[in-house]
Amino acid sequence: MNPVIGLDVSKGESQIQAFLDKGKPYRKSFSIKHDIKGLGNLLEFLHEVEKLANGNQPTVVLESTGHYHYPVTQFLEEQNYVYIIVNPLISHRAKSSSLRKVKTDAIDAYHLCELFYKEELEPYKKRGIQLLNLRNLTRQQESIAEISAKAKLQLHSLLDQVFPEYRGVFGSLYSKVSLLTLLAFPTSEAVLSASERELSEKISELCKSRSEIWAQERAKKLKEAALRNPFQNNLYQSNIFNLEMLVRLVLQYQEHLSKIATEIDALAKEVEEYHLLQSIPGIGEKIAATIISEIGEINRFDSAKKLVAFAGVDPSVYSSGKFTASVNRITKRGSNRLRHALYMAVQSGIRDSRKKKTTDEIIARNKRLREFYDKKREEGKP
């Protein structure tokens, strides 16, 4: 016998259907909660099916559902059960083969069992805990970076309404010393009420790595900016309040991102491929860590084509009768995070690097990649 159990996973619960062998469903489907009691019931059912199948351990088949299936898969790993995570595109195609249009959790679980006998599905190859930790950190880093970027845009907009001339006082508006100075002196009135010496001392206190002369120059620039500022008297106190709040938020996000980056670097340094990837011009620490964590264990892919498909960068093919499409886009059916990391690596690689001191020649960071890119552009590629 070749038993299988299909799990239609949803938020907080799963619908279960078992087959003892091909064409031999066992019992009616039932649901379990993703809690201790529910998972305990699942284990009892697994043992029951195993006993009826002459001691053959059932394989568990479930769809990839974001993060909802994690409690179940972790439980199955702890109990040493083999499980298969099916791409929703494959399971949807199998369901669509039926003439009847019926959609219920019970039927979905039933179809997953049937799919097991129709397709050659491979058991899920586990990723190392280290790579999973790295993936969680890189994804969180990406998420916080997106929120931080939105906060910066809001801050930029409010600064235009309160103190637009402040930009240019420091090299970077979002440097720590710049944000802390803005927090201390958010308006022209606050700047002009302090002496140049007080401003200089405050800046020097906030940035101890710089010289006093640098702090004095910044204080002078700040005074000049306050005098040029069109908003000498701010009528809307709400704008000042929101500006200070956003400055604090951006500073917090920067602190969180710094901590995550340190944690990522410490984890990634133990992975050999981390240093290998960074030997490619255009790939830095962040991109290298993302690529490694999203791919996971490289031995999950027994060919380069499968890895390309996982990244979703394989070209689509469309041909019907005498027509063959000449413009084929990439499938984009794989990991969007991996694809984005590869895209950023290419963008960085083909970009011009700084000019050499001895000549005016501009050399691309990744000369080989740039030559290939230029060649394709000359051929008319977009």
Residues 110-129 have pLDDT tens digits of 888 888 888 777 777 666 77
The one-letter amino acid code at 152 reads K
Distance CA 308, CA 289 (A): 18
Examine the pLDDT at 335 and tell me if it is beyond 90.
Answer: no
Q: How confident is the model at residue 328 (pLDDT cuts 50, 70, 90)?
A: confident
Residues 40-49 have pLDDT tens digits of 999 999 999 9
- Helix 212-228 and helix 196-206: axis angle, to 10°? 120
Average pLDDT value for the chain: 88
CB 235 within 8 A of CB 133: no
pLDDT score, position 128: 73
Residues 197-219 have pLDDT tens digits of 999 999 999 998 899 999 999 99
Burial of 136 (0-12, 13-18, 19+ CB in 10 A): exposed
Distance CA 306, CA 338 (A): 14
pLDDT cut 90: percent of the chain above it: 55
Residues 36-83 have pLDDT tens digits of 999 999 999 999 999 999 889 999 998 887 788 889 988 998 898 888
pLDDT score, position 86: 84
Angle at 180 between CA 242 and CA 190, to 5 degrees: 70
pLDDT score, position 127: 63
pLDDT score, position 221: 94
- Helix 237-268 and helix 176-184: axis angle, to 10°? 160
Residue, of 158 and 123, whose pLDDT is higher: 158
Examine the pLDDT at 382 and tell me if it is beyond 60.
Answer: yes
Mean pLDDT of 144-152: 96
Residues 217-226 have pLDDT tens digits of 999 999 999 9
What is the enclosing helix (H) or strand (E) of 21? Answer: strand 13-21
Q: Which of 339, 336, 333, 296 is nearest to 125 (CA)?
A: 296
The tally of CA atoms less than 13 A away on the side-chain side of residue 273 is 13
pTM confidence score: 0.77
Examine the pLDDT at 374 and tell me if it is beyond 80.
Answer: yes
Q: How confident is the model at residue 94 (pLDDT cuts 50, 70, 90)?
A: low
Hey, what's the torsion of the CAs at 217, 204, 237, 241, to 10 degrees?
A: 130
Please say whether the dihedral angle defined by the alpha carbons of residues 188, 194, 200 and 204, taken in this order, is positive or negative: negative
